[in-house]
A and B are shown apart, each in its own frame.
Chain A
């Protein structure tokens, strides 16, 4: 297994290289350039000043040269300077990480804690009232766009009841744990709801598949209690599909959630990405997207390792 992990880790390098070319091409292919924001604000900007500005940012050079300059800098650990804020991209991403991970991590954990038991019990008690409610609720959740659910929560809990604040991570000048908790509840609820709906469906269906299989019946007949059978044998075997989905979602944690962050004024990476996109802030865009891609690649490797743990028969040699 160790050999496999090392092999895969080495393979990441050419893979990320290929990914960077694809991403760079796409963002450069989008019409408009970083001078757009400057032009949009000004009324008298003369063409010479725009050329000087583009030269300063280095976007007057051919795309291929720009790419290799970016790549060269990145290999030495330099992600470049953001066009908009004139700050190092690395600092900007790092600065947003704690709040991004706090929100995304909390909603991930909450979703996992709820979704897996929900899926298991729905399967074990198939066609019970519990199953119906869980299934019904997950479809309502699936049919609800994130922005819509978020705004509705705001309307209900912030405007009508005035229990929870609308935006930010804390009340500036107040702070404290309870205050921070109040701020994170709604965005975390919005983010976890969708995951719960999806994951519990996967868990339920693969659990049903496993419960119908012979060896579970065998284990049961061997005199193992029903509870043991479910918790040890079945859940472990049924987890593989949900692990695939969850690891992909973990990779996304680092990229933030654009819409939830926008609605709740949450200082995450997702919103920074959208702003960077509109401003054509190429270094910042590349930084955020390469980080996201690295996470996808890494966590898919993690998923493969987990498969082998869940089912020891799996081998990659």
Chain B
């Protein structure tokens, strides 16, 4: 008998444990904490921990540091660059950019006067020059090569600096999103600055921004406090403190937001429908992230035998029910994509004609390209080669792995065999860069200064540095390069429009959706206007308020 009792007890305990899930009352209303000792503290449930605060040498896409340090420019919620420490962004029209006789360009920045670092020292053009010199001399800066096109910099006066560019680049106004304080770091060598712990970890991390660094508890949180001498005036910032708590697990972060102890935090698309907490709401922030499937046609390491024929690529595009992925898998929280440029950008082409879901036509196209099931095993073949390829998945990216599985199932319907292989992040990254894969599901952050050359230009050592698919289309190359060198919207837009259509026609990449980032925001947080750019949401944190 004894065993039966044991089995019974175990089952009972087990069901009790699960039972609590239902039994627990539906108490999900919340009282959002706003003040403490009369101080307004903003608690942020943040999804990662920074490696270091210096935004140039940090290797992570993080943004809390932009509350402390400011740059010449920043991005706002409309995906535009706005001047911050500069009076205006130089253009041809306002005379800020002039072409020199030798084909180089001079770009002059006029700095805002009367801006002080938070320790009271004035911010001047010397700091800008110092920042540029640091970038030029430090290989750890992730986008150093963009700055390398500035071949000379002259400090004209305290508030004016002129850069000489070797050519025109679309990102010319998207650089210098932060500034290094020369009076703090000037006595160090460039290599010393990169590893200078007081700056990297905060005690000497001085900026001109609305907040000052206060404390960084390794692995747990970063705390920022109000800068009492902020240059925008005494009324800013409204919030006294910001606490970025590192909560990396997505379900834990979701629980954290539901617990009502945080006023802002990012959640996942599949969690949006279930999030229903009094005093908080979900904001879908359009981001510059697009999801896609890449097919590798690189000789030797890729599968040109399968994907080399545009009819085949088009068939794959038509065989994937992208609308179902958007509506069902992502519960309608994202927008169907036909091009890499998101609708939040002025360069988005909404008139693209891209292949739509049509499995019958897909089969026809494959048959035209010579792919038929000759041996009756349910898988297409041609000249003895099975139409079978492998998705290289990056472990931990559950959203992309889910998509890969859906695509696998959908392609099976038209007789294409897809297998899956998962690699840990760093291993995945290395294989990807070596083009050692068949197909991937990817997601990219498009910067606000749209440029397609990195992704789709033929890889030639100069352009296409992130084109690992081996795709090459000379007509497209010419258009993208022309767009990069043209800073006039009216002239540039048609170039990019045409480029987007060619990408769709040639199926350089199969687009899935543009991601909107769901952020939970407390109702009492005022003036929050989330921005989906890679510089983050904090661009106007000086005017945020907790009521």
With A32-B429, A166-B261, A267-B220 as contacts: A53 and B24 at CB distance below 8 Å:
no
With A86-B195, A160-B25, A167-B245 as contacts: A264 and B5 at CB distance below 8 Å:
no
Q: Enumerate chain B residues within 8 angstroms of A50, measured Cβ to Cβ.
A: 139
Q: Enumerate chain A residues within 8 angstroms of B427, measured Cβ to Cβ.
A: 30-32
Q: Enumerate chain B residues within 8 angstroms of A171, measured Cβ to Cβ.
A: 261
Contact of B426 among A85, A95, A151, A280 (CB under 8 A): A280
B473 interface contact, C-beta 8 A: no
Q: Which among B8-16, B90-98, B150-158, B290-298 touches the partner chain?
A: B8-16
Main secondary structure of the interface of B (DSSP, over half): mixed
B450 interface contact, C-beta 8 A: no
B247 touches A42 (CB 8 A): no
B454 touches A275 (CB 8 A): no
Q: Nearest chain-A residue to B260 (Cβ)?
A: A162
A244 interface contact, C-beta 8 A: no
> 8 Å CB contacts to A: which residues of B39-94?
39, 41, 43, 45, 49, 51-52, 57, 59-61
Q: Determine the distance from Cα of A44 to Cα of B197 in the docked complex, in whole angstroms.
A: 27
Contact of B145 among A32, A41, A46 (CB under 8 A): A46
Q: Determine the distance from Cα of A266 to Cα of B465 in the docked complex, in whole angstroms.
A: 38
Contact of B6 among A30, A136, A261 (CB under 8 A): A136
Query: How many chain-A residues does the 8 Å CB contact rule pick out?
Result: 75
Q: Determine the distance from Cα of A42 to Cα of B454 in the docked complex, in whole angstroms.
A: 11
Q: Determine the distance from Cα of A166 to Cα of B17 in the docked complex, in whole angstroms.
A: 19
A166 touches B426 (CB 8 A): no
Q: Determine the distance from Cα of A253 to Cα of B233 in the docked complex, in whole angstroms.
A: 51
B142 touches A139 (CB 8 A): no
> 8 Å CB contacts to B: which residues of A24-58?
30-33, 36-46, 49-50, 52-53, 56
Q: Nearest chain-B residue to A137 (Cβ)?
A: B13
Q: What are the interface flags for B457-486 relative to A under an 8 Å C-beta threshold, 1 for contact and 0 otherwise?
A: 000000001100000000000000000000
B433 touches A140 (CB 8 A): no
Q: Enumerate chain A residues within 8 angstroms of B252, measured Cβ to Cβ.
A: 150-151, 154, 166-167, 262-265
B259 interface contact, C-beta 8 A: yes
Contact of B20 among A133, A136, A156, A162 (CB under 8 A): A156
> How far is the CB of B172 from the nearest CB of chain A, in Å?
13
Q: Determine the distance from Cα of A278 to Cα of B195 in the docked complex, in whole angstroms.
A: 21
Q: Enumerate chain A residues within 8 angstroms of B21, measured Cβ to Cβ.
A: 152, 155-156
Q: What are the interface flags for A76-97 relative to B under an 8 Å C-beta threshold, 1 for contact and 0 otherwise?
A: 0000010011110000100110
B52 touches A266 (CB 8 A): no
Q: Enumerate chain A residues within 8 angstroms of B39, measured Cβ to Cβ.
A: 173
B465 touches A161 (CB 8 A): no
A279 interface contact, C-beta 8 A: yes
With A135-B6, A136-B13, A172-B245 as contacts: A165 and B59 at CB distance below 8 Å:
no
Q: What are the interface flags for A274-313 relative to B under an 8 Å C-beta threshold, 1 for contact and 0 otherwise?
A: 0100111000000000000000000000000000000000
A30 touches B255 (CB 8 A): no
A168 interface contact, C-beta 8 A: yes
B400 interface contact, C-beta 8 A: no
A174 interface contact, C-beta 8 A: yes
B259 touches A44 (CB 8 A): no
Q: Determine the distance from Cα of A158 to Cα of B41 in the docked complex, in whole angstroms.
A: 20
With A84-B51, A166-B256, A267-B217 as contacts: A160 and B426 at CB distance below 8 Å:
no
> How far is the CB of A159 from the nearest CB of chain B, in Å?
4
Q: Determine the distance from Cα of A129 to Cα of B30 in the docked complex, in whole angstroms.
A: 41
Q: Enumerate chain B residues within 8 angstroms of A155, measured Cβ to Cβ.
A: 21, 255
Q: Enumerate chain A residues within 8 angstroms of B51, measured Cβ to Cβ.
A: 84-85, 279
With A162-B30, A168-B220 as contacts: A87 and B201 at CB distance below 8 Å:
yes
> How far is the CB of B496 from the nearest CB of chain A, in Å?
17
A127 interface contact, C-beta 8 A: yes
Residues of A bordering B, CB below 8 Å:
30-33, 36-46, 49-50, 52-53, 56, 81, 84-87, 92, 95-96, 99, 127, 129, 132-133, 135-137, 139-140, 143-144, 147, 150-152, 154-156, 158-162, 165-169, 171-174, 261-268, 271-272, 275, 278-280
Instruction: Knowing that A31-B430, A87-B200 touch, tell me 6 more A-B residue pairs with CB under 8 angstroms.
Output: A32-B424, A41-B60, A85-B201, A86-B195, A156-B24, A267-B218
For the complex of A and B, 3 pairs with smallest distance between CB atoms: A267-B219, A32-B426, A42-B142
